A and B are shown apart, each in its own frame.
Chain A
């Protein structure tokens, strides 16, 4: 509904203000809490500007299940979860491969929003394997 400042503007300003005006003066538990708030706001900011990804995910699930797109993402995810539990994607089939591809791209998109560093470390594959 809001135009200018919109949700994204307000969130961006809140993060800036927290980081520049409050954080330098905080210590200990208070600083930790402020960092968590900044992190929550930053994630909300990134997620809010990602409606395209949400729509893409709904469409992808509809294709996987061969049904019309759901009205919103939670409904689409519920439909997909039920189909997985019902074993509708038989192992070794192209459908199972497409399902895994969807899950991986969707999870990577969400992880990019919440913890890009984790994803980067994961992709370096630093660990060995016994």
Chain B
């Protein structure tokens, strides 16, 4: 679907929401990325109202097919707002249409951030900055900042959360057991049996640590969902999987091998060291993450990404979205299976000494 045919309705909607006259609305085209959502770049000129002036926006709506875990656009809007209010660097949420009357399906309008999100480009940019010597250890600086950012989101806790997050399913001390049950159900929906994933679920069930705290979690915090400009953070994107969880799930997801994009020795997202990432997290949260707990959640991350990858294949073969990218993504599940078998074995082994020291150059936020 193209939103170009709904331009007039979109102008009327923005005028009503902003209380301003729309001088111009340029629909620049579809943005890359966003396998589950469509993102359109818009430039808007408003006359009058609180938002008088020129704005670069993103219109975010559902793609032709989604995946089971994904939240609706309007739910995601509430989550981004909660993150924004918690002080996290995210695109400012502006307006949303939840009834689909404007462009035929619900959508949200967010302020567009500048920079790049494509992981290989980000890693290339960090590599260039390292080589130039412009910033000392730019990857370490960035992971410390990212640790601080995710800690801000984790300050949102169920008892003090905004009322419009009431749609989020509650989570408690049985979080991991519930997750295991949900993942088994997910496996049952797939057309082929997955013995390694079944085995890994048993392992997760048997090794689950006690859940000590529940906070708002991004649940897809990794390169690809982080906008970077000149080696620095521009904003955190994509809250479509966010929900109540153990905050270590976000740390494990970020550090999981499947999200290092080939930079396997940089355990924090392919960018830097875990020590620096954890130090940034402690700057804001006051809590030093437990490395073993994070490793547990890295294993859960490999399992979850395998399920998502297999689901992407089903979008191609059963969901009618015939794209070779989706079919090949399904094969990424095999990498996760291999990781699961090796990481579970390493889990109980004594840790090897790290080659990194926590980076102390960046100013923290006490």
Contact = CB atoms under 8 A, between A and B. Distances in A.
A binds B: yes
A33 B295 CA distance: 35
Interface in A110-130: 110-111, 114-115, 118-119, 121-122, 126-130
Contacts of A100: 199, 341
A40 interface: yes
Interface residues of B, number: 42
A111 B335 contact: yes
Contact of A107 (B206, B327, B341, B354): B341
Contacts, number: 100
Given A43-B331, A129-B346, A121 B262 contact: yes
Given A100-B341, A110-B334, A115-B335, A33 B264 contact: no
A121 B264 contact: yes
A42 B291 CA distance: 40
Interface in B262-307: 262, 264-265, 267, 274-275, 278, 291, 294-295
B356 interface: yes
A85 interface: yes
Interface string B25-64: 0000000000000000000000000000000000000000
Contacts of B294: 130
A119 B195 CA distance: 20
Nearest to A128: B354
A91 interface: yes
A78 B334 contact: no
Contact of A118 (B335, B346, B355): B335
Interface in A40-54: 40, 43
A96 to B, nearest CB: 9
B352 A115 contact: no
A74 B195 contact: no
B133 interface: no
B194 interface: yes
A128 B346 CA distance: 11
Contacts of A103: 195-196, 199, 337, 341
Contact of A111 (B264, B328, B334): B334
A92 to B, nearest CB: 11
Most chain B CB neighbours (cut-off 10 Å) among A81, A111, A128, A129: A129
A130 B195 contact: no
Given A122-B339, A130-B275, A130-B291, 12 more contacts: A103-B337, A103-B341, A106-B196, A107-B337, A111-B335, A121-B264, A122-B342, A127-B257, A128-B265, A129-B295, A129-B354, A130-B295
9 contacts: A82-B193, A85-B202, A91-B206, A100-B199, A110-B337, A114-B331, A127-B265, A128-B355, A130-B294
Interface of A: 33, 36-37, 39-40, 43, 74, 77-78, 80-82, 84-85, 87, 91, 99-100, 103-104, 106-108, 110-111, 114-115, 118-119, 121-122, 126-130
Interface of B: 184, 187, 192-196, 198-199, 201-202, 206, 257, 262, 264-265, 267, 274-275, 278, 291, 294-295, 324-325, 327-328, 331, 334-335, 337-339, 341-342, 346, 351-356
